[in-house]
Amino acid sequence: MLNIIIIIITFFLITIDYVDSQTELTLPTLPYAYNALEPVLSEYLMRLHHDKHFQMYTNKSNIILKKMFTDTQSDNKLKEIVKQPIEIILTQLEYLPHQYQLSLRYNGGGYFNHKLFFSMLKTPTSTVDENKPIGPLLEAIEKNFGSFDKFKQLFSSASYEFFGSGWIWLYIDAQTKRLILNFTVNQDNPIMYDKNHIILLCIDLWEHAYYPVYENRRNEYIENFWRIINWSFVNQLYIEGQIKRSDL
Ligand SMILES: [Fe+2]
């Protein structure tokens, strides 16, 4: 009987702890081996990028989320926000107190962006031309940009011309419903500007994403990026976006 009481109490304590705590992010394992993207991205680079940089964004986000949740100055609305998934929290940054806002924008954005980026890569094809989008996504790209080659040219040009640390994105614009190419600086991303944007593709243009392999030859990294895009995954994002947004 005593054992049953202890089990029940433990269950309630775990439940209370689960409900009454902030979101805690975990570092996702790569969906492929560390050396799977060679020679485009080396094992050394992937270990550094994933195990050090991505891990750092994860750890720092967790520290900020916990601080916000335990801060005696935090009101109930804020405590409710920090219990949400990170993709929701990032759409509500304006509600966060100033002392947390910038650091969560940077580290939480870093977490979200890298989670997505590493998910949309795969073993490289031998040539750039062998790797092409499929299905409804290809149709949407052709409709919005004229052809896949034209889109590739625009995405690459935007990447070549970008200065500093940041990202280039392809997403479905929340207002126009069209596919849009755009950039963000630092670890910003499109959903921070409109929660209804649907992100499809991104390239990490931070030095840490290419320097160990390409050093100052960033354009070569951008050219080779086309060999490692997992178009099946990106097509799936497009299809899920259509389901989520019935107005698209
Ligand atoms: Fe990165």
CA of residue 13 to ligand 1 center, whole Å? 38
Give the span between the Cα atoms of 160 and 180, in whole angstroms.
Answer: 17
For residue 73, the model assigns a pLDDT of 87
CA of residue 129 to ligand 1 center, whole Å? 25
For residue 17, the model assigns a pLDDT of 47
Residue 89 sits at the vertex; the CA angle it makes with 83 and 93, to the nearest 5 degrees, is 130
CA of residue 136 to ligand 1 center, whole Å? 29
For residue 165, the model assigns a pLDDT of 97
CA of residue 132 to ligand 1 center, whole Å? 24
Distance, C-alpha 128 to centroid of its chain: 24
For residue 144, the model assigns a pLDDT of 97
For residue 56, the model assigns a pLDDT of 98
CA of residue 206 to ligand 1 center, whole Å? 6
In 115-236, where do the E strands start and end?
Answer: 166-172, 179-185, 198-204
- Residues at the binding site for Mn(2+) are 49, 114, 204, 208
- Residues at the binding site are 49, 114, 204, 208
CA of residue 193 to ligand 1 center, whole Å? 20
pTM of the predicted model as reported, rounded to 2 decimal places: 0.90
CA of residue 203 to ligand 1 center, whole Å? 9
For residue 64, the model assigns a pLDDT of 96
CB 70 within 8 A of CB 92: no
* All structural domains of the chain: 43-119 (1.10.287.990), 128-244 (3.55.40.20)
The helices-and-strands tally (H runs, E runs) of the chain is: 11, 3
CA of residue 171 to ligand 1 center, whole Å? 19
For residue 66, the model assigns a pLDDT of 95
Distance, C-alpha 199 to centroid of its chain: 9
Give the span between the Cα atoms of 145 and 217, in whole angstroms.
Answer: 27
pLDDT in tens, the chain (248 residues): 556 655 555 555 554 444 578 899 999 999 999 999 999 999 999 999 999 999 999 999 999 999 999 988 888 999 999 999 999 999 999 999 999 999 999 999 999 999 999 999 999 999 999 999 999 999 999 999 999 999 999 999 999 999 999 999 999 999 999 999 999 999 999 999 999 999 999 999 999 999 999 999 999 999 999 999 999 999 999 999 988 877 77
CA of residue 44 to ligand 1 center, whole Å? 14
CA of residue 232 to ligand 1 center, whole Å? 22
